[in-house]
Structure 1
Amino acid sequence: MTWDPRQYLAFADHRGRPFHELVGRVRADEPRRVVDLGCGPGNLTVGLRDRWPQAQLDAFDSSPEMVQQARERGLDAAVADVRDWTPPADSDVVITNAVLQWVPEHRELLQRWAAELPHGAWIAMQVPGNFGSPSHVTIRELAAGDRWRDRLGGVLRGDGTVDEPMDYAGLLDAAGCAVDVWETTYVQRLDGPDPVLEWVMGTALTPVRAALDDSEWEQFLAELRPRLAAAYPRREDGGTFFPFRRIFVVAQVGVG
């Protein structure tokens, strides 16, 4: 898939808030190495550098376009797949913000990291918990219809993409971690003529865009636009409320 940093950053404030709330629960005082797995364009990663200036900061993303943006922000970012990452011995903080929902085997990764990280290290992850929301259901229903089934079969993620908070708590507790797990539903006000469509174009629709040519993409958006507008009606003042559920996990290794 090709990621568009410009589209992703269109809602930078909304997308950044969960990151800050996640990192705020990491109580590492003087970590030796801080790792951001899925750094995106680096606009949030720079905050890790500011919080822990003495630490070695590693930033990785699978998208060359995102990594280039991160490098332009002064980060020593590299292209890498989160599934291939092995913790260096001094990795004291590992952040994965809105990343692991793209990795079907992320549960096994969490268990492996908990086994490989040093005692007292922190794992902090945040994933969207909205795969059953109207935005995602509407996209999947359209993609499964007669017009698009052959082109988009198997492209989109479903309800089993991420687990419930209790599942992650049990997984990491069993791995010997002290766990802090919670969920938040942000009721986000979005503005503009098609704000929910603009939102999902930055993330959820990325695999759809990769599967379609330019003409097909425009046709798909034309069919999706009125469906999303009906699911998320505009208010009289012109704004649109968009509920977005997020799942947060902070775990400290070896102290559970």
Structure 2
Amino acid sequence: MTAAAPTWDPEQYLRHSGHRARPFTDLLARVPEPPAPRGRPPRVADLGCGPGTMTRLLADRWPTAHLTGYDNSPQMLERAAPLAGPLPGGGRLDFAHADVRTWTPPETYDVILGNATLQWVPGHTAAFPAWVDALAPGGTLAFQVPGNFDAPSHRLMRELAHSPRWKDRLTGVLRHDDAVLTPAAYLDHLAALGCEVDAWETTYLHLLQGEDPVLDWVKGTGLRPVLTELGDEADAFVDAYRAALREAYPATAHGTVFPFRRVFAVATKGA
């Protein structure tokens, strides 16, 4: 079956915004300054911008740039809209509807970023040639993706979805453990396009607080396709999943440790 696009809940997504921001800031720290374009401000695209909070950090980094956050979720774009407008440095920030699965750069960009987005795009490396081609000489394509699809949080979700009770409803709805590539594979793809590539991985140990915090986390991200597909019938699935997560991620006196591997790539086009 073909899964419907997940319905996003900005409030749920932002419940762990501090932890979610860490990989983005680590990625951004490795992105070089864009080339100095003649006669125009730097042009920056943020693919899968969500509620716009991370796109706003780009405005702090490049206050003279024209920044556009792209997303296909009306709920996320509605939440991001109040952040749009002129920037103190003379640039501007705006948001636009676009589906990253089919997005073709409409103009030349100096930086194209994807923050925890490409894992939703099957075969996303096929888009790399067009994206790199749309970069100005010296421009950068940079992204980070979750690399934890074999972690208990995702494995248990898939096992439950494939169980006799749910398989007829959920077959094909969830992503598999090949949704993203290794750092070495991304390096190969991007280096073949003539880019200088910096690729790496990091496992964060998020210390989460509260009751069932791992469940609360995935309700904002990886569980969204299940919640969308099951609708009002999702409670039974969530209850079974909650019990499995409690065993896999036991609470400690300091909180619940949630290991989370992420894969990064920064590819700079030759000048």
Q: Same fold by TM (over 0.5)?
A: yes
Cα deviation, 1:10-53, whole Å, max 9, x if unaligned, reads: 00000001001101111115561011111110111111112111
Paired amino acid for 1:65: Q
1:13 has 2:18 as partner? yes
- With the length of structure 2 as denominator, give the TM-score of the two structures: 0.90
2:262 aligned partner: 246
Cα deviation, 1:84-129, whole Å, max 9, x if unaligned, reads: 3333443000110000000002111122212332221100100000
Which among 159, 175, 179 is matched to residue 193 of structure 2?
175
Show the 5 A alignment for 1:167-206. Answer: 167-206=185-224
1:163 has 2:173 as partner? no
Q: CA deviation at 1:83?
A: 3.0
Paired amino acid for 1:100: L
Structure 1 residue ranges (4+ consecutive) displaced by more than 3 angstroms after TM superposition? none
2:171 aligned partner: 153
Q: CA deviation at 1:67?
A: 0.6
Structure 1 Cα separation of the partners of residues 231 and 118 of structure 2: 27
Structure 1 Cα separation of the partners of residues 187 and 137 of structure 2: 18
2:78 aligned partner: 68
5+ long unaligned stretches in structure 2: 1-5, 85-92
Paired amino acid for 1:230: E
Q: CA deviation at 1:130?
A: 0.1
Structure 2 Cα separation of the partners of residues 185 and 209 of structure 1: 27
SS of 1:244's equivalent in the other structure is strand
SS of 1:78's equivalent in the other structure is strand
Which among 9, 14, 18 is matched to residue 4 of structure 1?
9
1:78 has 2:92 as partner? no
| Contact 1:192/1:238, CA 8 A, preserved across alignment | no
Paired amino acid for 1:82: V
2:118 aligned partner: 100
Q: CA deviation at 1:72?
A: 1.8
Structure 2 Cα separation of the partners of residues 139 and 243 of structure 1: 16
The 10-residue stretch of structure 1 (183-192 or 69-78) with the greater mean CA deviation from structure 2: 69-78
5+ long unaligned stretches in structure 1: none
Q: How many residues end up aligned between the 2 structures?
A: 253
| Contact 1:3/1:206, CA 8 A, preserved across alignment | yes
| Contact 1:5/1:69, CA 8 A, preserved across alignment | yes
Q: CA deviation at 1:227?
A: 0.3
Which among 146, 169, 186 is matched to residue 128 of structure 1?
146
Paired amino acid for 1:77: F
Structure 2 Cα separation of the partners of residues 239 and 180 of structure 1: 34
SS of 1:155's equivalent in the other structure is coil
1:49 has 2:59 as partner? yes
1:231 has 2:231 as partner? no
Structure 2 Cα separation of the partners of residues 225 and 196 of structure 1: 9
| Contact 2:50/2:80, CA 8 A, preserved across alignment | yes
| Percent of paired sites with the same residue | 53
1:27 aligned partner: 32
| Contact 1:87/1:117, CA 8 A, preserved across alignment | no
Structure 2 Cα separation of the partners of residues 3 and 76 of structure 1: 20
Structure 2 Cα separation of the partners of residues 239 and 108 of structure 1: 41
Structure 1 Cα separation of the partners of residues 103 and 169 of structure 2: 32
Structure 2 Cα separation of the partners of residues 70 and 84 of structure 1: 21
